[in-house]
């Protein structure tokens, strides 16, 4: 059995975001709650993720969006043994380019780690994401040793993208866990 941990990004995932809908539809999914969603600090976010992963009763699958993706990459770089032993897979959706978003308070997350993740990973990107160019998404997917899914023009792959509960994302997670 795999525990699914949901990692929203900057400002959290609202009521119509696919992550929130997945949690509503599956009470076994657990959101990793951050102390401060509006002024995130990398050290805090990775520590909170580490606590959630190590407290889970079984191996986990990580379902991250935006800044949550960068949190996963930073945590895996800081805790490679735990990442290898305790994480089965990760679905990283619309990573945020914290190296190129000076207007947002995300600087503590830079630089973005560029090493292979020690678990099966799929990165999902959009060609018109305002927070990461598709070219950079490809670069990070390759650096992380991840499969890449091109969602076309889907914005930031959030509630504004009109995905609802995003059945394709559920399929991608199921494939990672099979």
pLDDT (tens digit per residue) in 77-86: 999 999 999 9
Q: Is the dihedral of CA 60, 61, 66, 71 positive or negative?
A: positive
Look up the CATH number of the domain holding residue 155: 3.40.50.1820
In this predicted structure, what is the pLDDT of residue 76? 98
Low-confidence winner among 75-84, 103-112, 139-148 (lowest mean pLDDT):
103-112
Q: Give, in order, the Cα–Cα distances in Å from 37 to each of 44, 92, 175.
A: 11, 18, 30
pLDDT (tens digit per residue) in 38-84: 999 999 999 999 999 999 999 999 999 999 999 999 999 999 999 99
Low-confidence winner among 47-61, 101-115, 154-168 (lowest mean pLDDT):
101-115
Mean pLDDT over residues 124-141, rounded? 97
Enumerate the β-bridge partners of residue 90: 62, 121
pLDDT (tens digit per residue) in 6-48: 999 999 999 999 999 999 999 889 999 999 999 999 999 999 9
Provide the number of structural domains found in the chain: 1
Contact status, residue 8 vs residue 36, Cβ threshold 8 Å: no
Mean pLDDT over residues 85-106, rounded? 93
Q: Give, in order, the Cα–Cα distances in Å from 71 to each of 56, 84, 122, 143.
A: 18, 16, 15, 15
User: 149 is in which domain, residue-wise?
Assistant: 3-177
Residue 126, pLDDT > 90, answer yes
> Which residues neighbour 24 within 8 Å (Cβ) at sequence distance 6 or greater?
none
In this predicted structure, what is the pLDDT of residue 19? 98
Rounded CA-CA distance 82/171 in Å is 26
């Amino acid at each position: 059995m795999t525990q699914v941990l949901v990692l929203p990004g900057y400002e959290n995932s609202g009521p119509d975001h696919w992550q929130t809908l997945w949690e509503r539809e599956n009470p076994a999914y657990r959101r990793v709650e951050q102390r401060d969603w509006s002024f995130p600090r990398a050290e805090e976010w990775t520590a909170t993720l580490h606590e959630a992963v190590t407290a889970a009763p079984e191996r986990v699958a990580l379902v991250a969006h935006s800044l949550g993706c960068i949190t996963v990459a930073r945590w895996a770089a800081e805790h490679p043994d735990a990442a290898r032993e305790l994480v089965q897979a990760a679905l990283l959706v619309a990573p945020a380019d914290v190296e190129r978003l000076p207007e947002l308070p995300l600087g503590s997350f830079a630089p973005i780690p560029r090493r292979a993740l020690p678990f099966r990973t799929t990165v999902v990107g959009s060609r018109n994401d305002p927070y990461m160019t598709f070219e950079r998404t490809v670069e990070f997917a390759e650096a992380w040793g991840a499969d890449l899914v091109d969602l076309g023009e889907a914005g930031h792959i959030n509630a504004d993208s009109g995905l609802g509960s995003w059945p394709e994302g559920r399929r991608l997670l199921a494939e990672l866990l099979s």
